[in-house]
Structure 1
Amino acid sequence: MEDDRQRKANWKRWGPYLAERQWGTVREDYSENSDSWRSFTHEEAVSRAYRWGEDGLLGITDRQGRLSFALALWNGKDPILKERLFGLTGPEGNHGEDVKEHYFYLDSSPTHSYMKALYKYPQCEFPYQQLREENARRGYDDLEYELEDTGAFEDDRYFDVTAEYAKNGPNDILIRVTVCNRGPETAPLHLLPTLWFRNTWSFGRSGEGYWPKPRLSKLVPGQIESEHASLGRFRFFAVDDDRNEPLFLFTDNETNYRKLYGQINAEPFVKDAFHEHIIGGHSRVVSPSQTGTKAAVVYEMELEPGESRTLQFRLVSEKEMPTDDRSQLLGSEFDEIFDSRIAETNSFYGDVLKQWPEQSERAIARQGFAGLFWTKQFYFYSVRDWLRGDPGKPIPAEARSSGRNSEWNHLYNRDVISMPDKWEYPWYAAWDLAFHMVPFAKVDIEFAKSQLLLLLREWYMHPNGQIPAYEFQFSDCNPPVHAWAAWQVYEDSDQGDGKDRQFLARVFHKLLINFTWWINRKDRDENNIFSGGFLGLDNIGVFDRSQPEHVGGDLDQADATAWMAFYCSTMLTIAMELASFDESYEDVASKFFEHFVSIANAMNSLGNGLWDEDDGFYYDQLHQEDNVTPLRIRSMVGLLPMVAVGVLNMEVIDRLPGFKKRMMWFLENRKTLSSQITYLEKHGDDPKLLLAIPSKSRLKAILRYMLDETEFLSDYGVRSMSKFHESNPYKVQISHQNFSVQYKAGESDSGLFGGNSNWRGPVWFPVNWLLIEALDQYHDFYGESMKVECPVGSGTMLNLKEVADEIARRLTKLFVVEDGKRPVNEGRDFLNEDPNWKDYVLFHEYFHGDSGRGLGASHQTGWTALVINCFDRLQNRE
C-alpha cells in the first residue's frame, strides 16, 4: 500500500474494476426516448459491442479498462453462455431493478493482491423467461420472485464457481478457478476463461482513451500473447486440460450487425462467436488464424457429485515474467504465492480487527470489506461525445441535445470509482460514495481521500458548483454530505505523521463553490428555508417532492433545510480546524457560523418555520398562494434536523481571536434572530458551546417518537417512517387531488421513481449512522444531564451515547446469527441452514422495518458496510 501511495509500484493497476452490468445503462443508451433499459438489453449484450465499458462474471480489468479477464460458463442446457449476470429492469419487475443471480464477494486486500469471489451456477436451463413472466405478473403487494423460487437450486443441482486472484507483482496476476458440483448426479460443464479488449477502435475517435486496434494471438501451446499500444505486452498462460492442451478460441469484440439489425458485418468475426461455436456447433465463426481482440480457453468437464476441480492461469507483463516456462509459472511456486498473499491478507485484517473478540463478527466484517473493494469499477463517460455521437455512426436524436444530462457537457469521467452496487447501480452516486468512504477509511485511507477529491475535480463538478448526482440525472440533488465524509476521513487520516491537512484544505476550497451553489439555487425565497427535491429519499413524501408544481405550489423541506444546516456545521468545523494553522480561515468560519444560526432560526420560527408545536415534530410545508399546509407525515424528514449539530470547544475558540470577536459581535447584535430555540448554549462550567437546530426540549420531543417501538424504533434500527402510519395513513387533499401515505415496512407500493422507491418504512444504514453520530455530539455537550427513556415505555433511562450504542447494536443484529438465523435472510431458510450457503452474507440496500429482511440491491456493500463501523463502535465500548 505504501509503495503504491508513493508511486514506487503500481499495485492497484489491476483489480475487480470490471462492471457487472454495462447493458441497460445511460451511457450505452442511444435511443430517441432515453429508455436505457430497453435500448440495450441483456439479450443484445451477447452480440453487441459496448461503447463505454465492459462487464463480466467474477472478472478483473486494468484501471483504464483496456484488457479484461472473466469467466464464461455453459451447463449444456442454457441458450447462451453465462458471461454476465442477469436481472430485471424496473418495468419488468414488481419492485424495481433486481439482479436474479447468487454471488458473493469473499475477500480482497486493499491493493487487490488477493481477491476471492463465488458464483452459484444452476445446472438446469437458466429460467430467464420464467423470472420475467412471474415478476411481471406479481403486484406491489407481492414479494419478488427470486431465482431460488424457480427451483433452479433444487436438490443442490448447481455448481460453486470460485475465482481467486493473487499478485506476484503489480502486473503479474495468478488466477485460480475452482468448480464444485454440489448436485447428486454427474453434471457437465464448459468453463471458458476469457480475455478481451474493450473496443476503443470502432468509433472513429482518437486521442486519450482511444487506441488503435490491439491484438490477442496464440503462441506456443497454452499461451496467448496480448499487445496493446498503451498497456504493453502481456502473456496469458493456461493450464492443460487433463494433460491435453485445451481448445483456444479467438474472435473480435465487434457487434454482430447481421444478427441484430440484418446488416453486413464490418468484421468477419464478432462478439458472440463463442456462443455460436460452443452452443450452435458452428466452427467457422471463430478466427482460424487464432488472432483477435477476444479469446477464450475451453475446458469441457464432467464432475461427479461433490467433485471439485481447480484450474490455474497467469496473466503477466512480459517485463515482469520471471520465466516463460509455463510448467514453472503454473507449478509449485504458484500455490506458494497464493499462500503468501492469503497469509498477508489475513494478517492485515487481523490487525484492523484486533479488538474484535467474536470470530463470527470478524467474518461479517471481512465480507463487508471484500464488498467495498469488489464494487470498485472503471467508469468511462464523456457527456460531450455521448451527446453528439461518434464519427461514422448514426447521429443521435435531436431530443438528446436538450434531454438527459445535456447541461453537463463538461463532464469527462475515466476513473476507478466506488459504486453503490455493480449490477443494480453500476454508476457512481454522490451521496452513496460519501458514505462508502467512512468504512473505506479504516482499510485504505488513500483511496478514501482520492475518491472524495475526485468528485470535486473540474471535470466532474459543474462550473456552477453542483456535484454530479448520478448517471440517470446528474442534475438531481443528493444530500450535501460530502463535507461530512471528508471530515470523517480526515479524522482517520493520521498514519503516524499527523492528519492530512492538505487533503482537508483541498476539499474545503472546492466545497465552498458547492455550498454557494446550494445557497443560490435551493433557497427559493432567500429566507434560509431550502428545497432540494427528493434528496435521495425517493417517495418519502406524499407526492413527488421534486415536482411540487404539479400540485400547484412550492415546498419548504425540513430535510433540505436540515441538510444545509448540517453542511454549515461541518464546514464550520473544517474551517476552525484549518484556522488553527492558518488564521485566514477565521473569516470564512465566521460566515458558516452566521449561516447556521440563520438557518436554525428560520427553521424554528413559530411564524413560517417548520416546527410543529402541537405535534413536537418537524414537517415539510406546502405553499400555495396565501395558504400554507404542513404535511404532517412522521418520517425521516422530521428526524434529520437532529443531525445538524456541532459542539464548539471554547478553548479552540479562544485560540481564534478573529473568529471569536466576530462571533460575539454577531450574538450581541442579532439577538432578535430567535427566541424560540437554543441554538447556542453554554453548559454549566464546561467550556463548550452547542450549535443545534432543536433545543433541548425539542430534542426530547423528537426522541420520544424516534425511540418508540410503535413509531420509529424497530428491532433493527430506526425506520424511515413511523409505524404509526400503518394504521393511521396520512391523508391530505391538495388542489382537489387526494393524496395519502401509509407505512410500508418492506418494498414500496408506489410506482414513483420506477417502483424502486422505498423510504416509507424500511431501515436504511446511512441515515441511521448520521443519527448515531449526532447523538454522540449531543451527549458530548449534555452528558449525564440528559437521559431519555429507551425504548419508550421500558422504564430504562439512557444517556444519549448509550442510546446511540443501542441503535448501533440493533443494526448489527441484522447480520448476527441468533437461534441459527440471520434476520437479513428472513424468509430464505436455505441462506440460514444450508452449509454451502449459511456463511455467506449479503449486504442489502435497505431492510424490512419489522423483520429485518434484506431488500433492494443485494450487493450494496458501500453504505451498508457501515455495519462494520457499528461493530467497531460496540467493540470499543466493551
Structure 2
Amino acid sequence: MSEPADHLTAEHARLAESPGDLDPWRLWGPYVSGRQWGTVREDYSADGNAWESFPFDHAHTRAYRWGEDGIAGLTDRYGFLNVAVAMWNGQDDRLKERLFGLTNAQGNHGEDAKEYWWHLDATPTHSYAQYLYRYPQAAFPYQQLVEENGRRGFGDDELELADTGILDGNRFFDVTVTHAKANPYDVVVRLEATNHGPDAAPLDLLPHVWFRNTWSWGRDDRRPTIRAVEGGVEIEHDWLGHYRMSASDGARVLLCDNETNVSATFGVEGEDPAHPKDAINRAVVHGDESLLATHVGTKAAFWWHYDAVQPGETVTVTLRLTRDDQGDAGLDGADEIVSGRQADADAFYATVVPADVSDEDRTVARRAFAGLLWCKQLFRYDIRQWLEGDPAQPPPPPERLAAQPKGRNTEWQTLSLADIISMPDEWEYPWFASWDLAFHCVALAHVDPAFAKEQLVLMCREWAMHPNGQLPAYEWNFSDVNPPVHAWAVWRVYQLDGAQDNDFLIRVFSKLMLNFGWWVNRKDSDGSNLFEGGFLGMDNVGPFDRSQPLPDGHRLEQSDATSWMAFFCLNMLRIAWELARVDRAWDEAATKFLEHFLSIAEAMESFGTNNISLWNDEDGFFYDAVVDDDGSGSQVPVRSMVGLLPLMAVAVEPDWVPQELPDYTSRMQWLLKRRPELTDAVVHSEYDGQPDTTLSLLTPERLTRILTRMLDEREFLSPYGIRSLSAIYRDGINIDLEGSSLPIAYAPGEAQSGLFGGNSNWRGPVWFPVNVLLTDALRTYATDLGRELEIEYPTGSGNHVPLREIVTDLEQRLVRMFRAGEDGRRPGDPRHVPTGDLWQAHPTFSEYFHGDTGAGLGASHQTGWTAMVAHLICHPAEHE
C-alpha cells in the first residue's frame, strides 16, 4: 500500500481507513481465545463449577457453544471461521491443538498455564502478527504436571514444564506463526518450525481451519462447508461468503465436522455424528481414519509429515486465505506480502517508540504492545440465552436460576456481548475484567487510540453496563466490585489521543455519572461519604476477607474504597472542567464533583460516635476502620497498599478555570468563605507570582509523612517498585481487632494461604497497575503542591531528592524488571524460565512480581496491565 501524504506510515493509513472494529482491516485478527474450556460461558452445570463442567479432556472431542480456542489463532470479527496451529511430535497421546494448564483446583496456586509461548509482534490492524510456541520433542507430561502440583501446597513452588526436564538440551521445536495481510480479505499464514535440539526429531504440522459450531443449538440451522479442492480447500459461509485457502505443496487435506463425539466425551452411547471433532486427531495419532469425512466438512487440517527434522533445521509451510473476489493467486507473492508487512510494522513502531529509547527498552515496549494486540479476543456471551439454554439441547438444570454461585450472573440478563475485547491474558484470564481493561486502554492508546476509546465506551453501553449503573466486573461474577478506574483511563486516553475528542468524553462521562451514582447508592451504606467496596481487586491484602460481611452488624469503612471514590471524583472533575470549557452546560457538573470530593475528604477526617479518622497521626498512615452498630469504631492498623491509595486523589486546577467556569468558581469561593471545614482538601500555593490550587486528600505535611513510609526500603520500597504490604511484617504479626487476634504476614512471593483465591497475592508483591497510579499521582504533586518538595530517598539514607526525580526513579525501577541484569536474566522473568539465549530473547509480562527479587509471579503471559511498561517507556506522563 502506498503511503498517503497525510499519514505517517502505511499502518497509520490503515488505521485511518478502518478506525472501527467492523471496518475491513479489522475483519481478520488474532481473536481466537487461548482457552475456551473451563470458562463460565461453556458451563451449563447445576453446581456452577465451570472448570469441571467443561474440562481440558473434553476440549478435543466436544463442540464449544460460545467460542473457540487454539494456538496462534486467526478468526473473523464474529468468530465464524478459525485458523490455528496444530502439531504432533510423534510421542504425545493427542495432537497439540490447544495450550494446556491446570484448573483452579489442580494448581497449588490456582489455575496455571503449563506451556511456553510469546507474542513476538503485531500491528493494531493485524496486518502483521507473529507468535512463537515452544513445543517439546518428548511426550508432553500432562499427567505428571497434574499429579505433582496436586501434591504441592501453598508454600511450595509450582511444578512448571521446564522443571520436568523435558526441555533440557533445547529438545524442542520453536514454531513461529506469522499472519500477513495483502489486503483486508487476503491473509498469508506461515508456519516455521525449527529444531533446536541436538538430535533429529519427527514432526507433523497440521494447521487447522474450521467453523465454530453454530448449527447444533436449534437457533440457526444453516451449515457452512469446507470442501477439498486441488491445492487447498474452498470455504462457504452465509455471512463471510466464499473463500479459498491455498497451501504449500505436499499437504494432505483431512476433513471432519466440528461436532461432539458423544461417546468419547461422556463415556455413554449416543447419536455420534459421522465425522466428529476429534476425527483428525484419531487419524494422525491413532491411525484410525474411519471417522474422516471424504470431501466436505466443517473442520479441516493440512497435514505435512517430517520423518526427521535435523538439528538446527527449519521447515516452513504456508497457507493463504483469500476471498473469491480477490482473485486466485495461490501462494504467488506470499514471501513479498510477509516481508512487506514486516517492514510496515517496523516503520510504524519507529514512530510509536521515541528515538532516544534504548534498543532493549524498544524491544520490551514492542513486545508489550504485541501481547496486548494478540490478547484481543472475541467475547460472545448472551446471558439470557445462556440461562435459558438452547432449543436443540437438554434444558439447563433449574439450580442455574438460583442465587450465586449456582445461578451465576442471573441479575445480569441485559448483558449481551459479541465484541472484540482486550483480555488480561489469553489462557489464564480469557475474559475481560473492567478494571484490567482500563489499564490496557491507556497502553493501547499509544498504538490504536480509536480502539482504546471504543473499549472504554463499550463497558458503558446498555448491553454491557447494568441498568443500575454498575460496570460488569468479570464473567465469574459480573456483580463483583472492581475499583473505579474507568474515568482515569478515559482522561489519560483522551490526553494521549491529542486532547481533541470531546465527543468521546461526553459519551463516557454521561454514562459514568450513572456509575458514580451506583457507587454512592450501593457502597456508601449509611450516606457517610465513606465507602465499603469489598475486596476491590486486592485479594488477601488484609487480615480477613473484606468481600464478606462482618459479624454483629459491623461494617468496614475502607481507606482504599474511599480513596478510589475521591480519585473517581477528581477524574470526573477533570473531564467536567474540559467539557465546560467548550460548553458551559457542564460547568455545574464540575461543581457537583468538587463538592462530593470535598465531602469525602472531610468524612475521612472524622466519623462515628467516637470521631474516628482513617488517618493515624501517630503512624503517619491511612488505615481501614471497623465501625460497630452503635457508630463507634476502631482502625485496622495494617500498613498496606490500601493506606497508600489516598495519594491517588490529587488534581491541579487549570489556570483558566477561574475565568472560564463561573459557576464552579463562585461555588468554590462560597465554600471557602462559608464552609471552611469542608475545604481542608483545597490547597492554595504560589509559584513565580502565579496562584495555584491543588485538590488533594493529603496536606503537604501528610504527603511528606506518608512518603516517608512508602519510600522506606524496610517497608514498601523494593528494588522494583512499591510493595503492596509493608515488609515490616516479614515475621508476621497478630492484629487485635474487636476482641479477635488476626494474623497477617508479608509474603513477597506466592500466597501462603487460600484466602480469596490461591493464585493471587497482594501480601507483599509488586503490582504494576497500582504502581503506575501512584507515580502518576506523584507527578501531579510534583507540578504544584510538591514542586519544591525534597524527600529523603530512600528513607534513612540522608539523601534528599526532589519529588520529580523520585517519580522518575520509581518508574525506572518498574522498567528495570524487564532489562537484562549482569547474569543475562531479566529480574522480572519467572523463576522457572531457563537462562540462555533462546529464553532471554523473550521478555515475559507477568501478573505481578516478587516483592524482593522482582521475579514474575501469577499468570506469566498476562501482558494485560503489565503492558503499562510500554506506556512508561513511550510517554513521559504529562500532567496539568
| Structure 1 length-normalised TM | 0.95
Aligned partner of residue 634 in structure 1, secondary structure: coil
Distance 1:826 1:388, change over 3 A: closer
Shift of residue 439, structure 1, vs aligned partner: 1.0
Check the 8 A contact 2:18/2:24 in 1, yes or no.
yes
Code of the aligned partner of 1:815: F
Partner Cα separation in structure 2 for residue 251 and residue 753 of structure 1: 43
Match of 1:838 in 2: 840
- How many residues get paired? 853
| 1:67 lines up with 2:81 in the alignment | yes
Check the 8 A contact 2:554/2:627 in 1, yes or no.
yes
Shift of residue 678, structure 1, vs aligned partner: 4.1
Shift of residue 264, structure 1, vs aligned partner: 2.0
Match of 1:731 in 2: 735
Match of 1:869 in 2: 871
Shift of residue 266, structure 1, vs aligned partner: 4.7
Check the 8 A contact 1:164/1:176 in 2, yes or no.
yes
Match of 1:511 in 2: 512
Match of 1:412 in 2: 416
Shift of residue 358, structure 1, vs aligned partner: 1.1
Code of the aligned partner of 2:222: P
Shift of residue 471, structure 1, vs aligned partner: 0.6
User: Which residue, out of 299, 303, 324, partners 2:304?
Assistant: 299
Code of the aligned partner of 1:399: E
Match of 1:809 in 2: 812
Deviates more, 1:528-537 or 1:349-358: 349-358
Shift of residue 734, structure 1, vs aligned partner: 4.5
Match of 1:156 in 2: 170
Shift of residue 649, structure 1, vs aligned partner: 2.5
Partner Cα separation in structure 2 for residue 692 and residue 621 of structure 1: 21
Partner Cα separation in structure 2 for residue 679 and residue 6 of structure 1: 42
Match of 1:598 in 2: 599
Partner Cα separation in structure 2 for residue 614 and residue 747 of structure 1: 32
Match of 1:41 in 2: 55
Shift of residue 256, structure 1, vs aligned partner: 0.7
Distance 1:868 1:561, change over 3 A: same
Check the 8 A contact 2:20/2:451 in 1, yes or no.
no
| 1:669 lines up with 2:671 in the alignment | no
RMSD across aligned positions (CA): 1.7
Match of 1:334 in 2: 334
User: Which residue, out of 272, 281, 289, partners 1:283?
Assistant: 289
Partner Cα separation in structure 1 for residue 451 and residue 665 of structure 2: 36
User: Which residue, out of 200, 203, 213, partners 2:223?
Assistant: 213
| 1:229 lines up with 2:238 in the alignment | yes
User: Which residue, out of 262, 275, 278, partners 1:272?
Assistant: 278
Shift of residue 205, structure 1, vs aligned partner: 1.2
Shift of residue 828, structure 1, vs aligned partner: 4.1
Aligned partner of residue 336 in structure 1, secondary structure: helix
Check the 8 A contact 2:453/2:493 in 1, yes or no.
yes
Deviates more, 1:706-715 or 1:129-138: 129-138
Shift of residue 784, structure 1, vs aligned partner: 4.1
| 1:444 lines up with 2:458 in the alignment | no
Distance 1:39 1:590, change over 3 A: same
Check the 8 A contact 1:356/1:362 in 2, yes or no.
no
Distance 1:727 1:384, change over 3 A: same
Distance 1:568 1:11, change over 3 A: same
Deviates more, 1:682-691 or 1:360-369: 682-691
Which whole-Å deviations, capped at 9, do the CAs of 1:597-634 have from their partners, x for residues lacking one? 00001112372321111111111111233452311110
Partner Cα separation in structure 1 for residue 840 and residue 738 of structure 2: 50
Match of 2:465 in 1: 461
Aligned partner of residue 782 in structure 1, secondary structure: coil
Partner Cα separation in structure 1 for residue 586 and residue 345 of structure 2: 42
Which whole-Å deviations, capped at 9, do the CAs of 1:40-97 have from their partners, x for residues lacking one? 1100111010010000011111111110000111111111111000001121111111
Check the 8 A contact 1:808/1:871 in 2, yes or no.
no
Check the 8 A contact 1:651/1:687 in 2, yes or no.
no
Shift of residue 470, structure 1, vs aligned partner: 0.4
Deviates more, 1:577-586 or 1:775-784: 775-784
Partner Cα separation in structure 1 for residue 480 and residue 22 of structure 2: 40
Distance 1:381 1:7, change over 3 A: closer
Check the 8 A contact 2:683/2:699 in 1, yes or no.
no
Code of the aligned partner of 1:127: P
Code of the aligned partner of 1:692: S
Partner Cα separation in structure 1 for residue 23 and residue 73 of structure 2: 22
Shift of residue 876, structure 1, vs aligned partner: 10
Match of 1:397 in 2: 397
Aligned partner of residue 180 in structure 2, secondary structure: strand
Match of 1:742 in 2: 745
| 1:482 lines up with 2:486 in the alignment | yes
Check the 8 A contact 2:263/2:272 in 1, yes or no.
no
Partner Cα separation in structure 2 for residue 152 and residue 51 of structure 1: 35
Shift of residue 392, structure 1, vs aligned partner: 2.7
| 1:253 lines up with 2:262 in the alignment | no
Code of the aligned partner of 2:453: K
Match of 1:621 in 2: 625
Percent identity over the alignment? 48
Check the 8 A contact 1:683/1:782 in 2, yes or no.
no
Shift of residue 464, structure 1, vs aligned partner: 0.3
Code of the aligned partner of 1:604: E
User: Which residue, out of 756, 759, 767, partners 1:756?
Assistant: 759
| 1:318 lines up with 2:324 in the alignment | yes
Check the 8 A contact 2:208/2:300 in 1, yes or no.
yes
Match of 1:571 in 2: 572
Shift of residue 6, structure 1, vs aligned partner: 7.7
Check the 8 A contact 2:66/2:380 in 1, yes or no.
yes
Check the 8 A contact 1:70/1:193 in 2, yes or no.
yes
Which whole-Å deviations, capped at 9, do the CAs of 1:795-848 have from their partners, x for residues lacking one? 221222211111101001101012022101264462x3x222211011000000
Check the 8 A contact 1:355/1:876 in 2, yes or no.
no
Instruction: List aligned pairs for 1:517-556, cutoff 5 A.
Output: 517-550=518-551, 553-556=554-557
Distance 1:6 1:565, change over 3 A: closer
Aligned partner of residue 474 in structure 2, secondary structure: coil
| 1:355 lines up with 2:355 in the alignment | yes
Match of 1:177 in 2: 191
Check the 8 A contact 1:649/1:687 in 2, yes or no.
no
Gap regions ≥5 residues in structure 2: 1-14
Check the 8 A contact 2:683/2:693 in 1, yes or no.
yes
Distance 1:701 1:519, change over 3 A: same
| Structure 2 length-normalised TM | 0.95
Gap regions ≥5 residues in structure 1: none
Code of the aligned partner of 1:659: Y
Shift of residue 875, structure 1, vs aligned partner: 11
User: Which residue, out of 103, 108, 129, partners 1:89?
Assistant: 103
Code of the aligned partner of 2:685: K
Which whole-Å deviations, capped at 9, do the CAs of 1:179-198 have from their partners, x for residues lacking one? 11111111111110100001
Partner Cα separation in structure 1 for residue 394 and residue 273 of structure 2: 18
Shift of residue 788, structure 1, vs aligned partner: 0.6
Partner Cα separation in structure 2 for residue 875 and residue 356 of structure 1: 16
Partner Cα separation in structure 2 for residue 265 and residue 368 of structure 1: 47
Aligned partner of residue 798 in structure 1, secondary structure: strand
Code of the aligned partner of 1:313: L
Check the 8 A contact 2:627/2:634 in 1, yes or no.
yes
Check the 8 A contact 1:633/1:730 in 2, yes or no.
no
Check the 8 A contact 1:809/1:874 in 2, yes or no.
no
Partner Cα separation in structure 1 for residue 825 and residue 128 of structure 2: 30
Check the 8 A contact 2:352/2:874 in 1, yes or no.
no
Match of 2:387 in 1: 387
Partner Cα separation in structure 1 for residue 103 and residue 732 of structure 2: 33
Check the 8 A contact 1:114/1:167 in 2, yes or no.
yes
Partner Cα separation in structure 1 for residue 22 and residue 492 of structure 2: 28
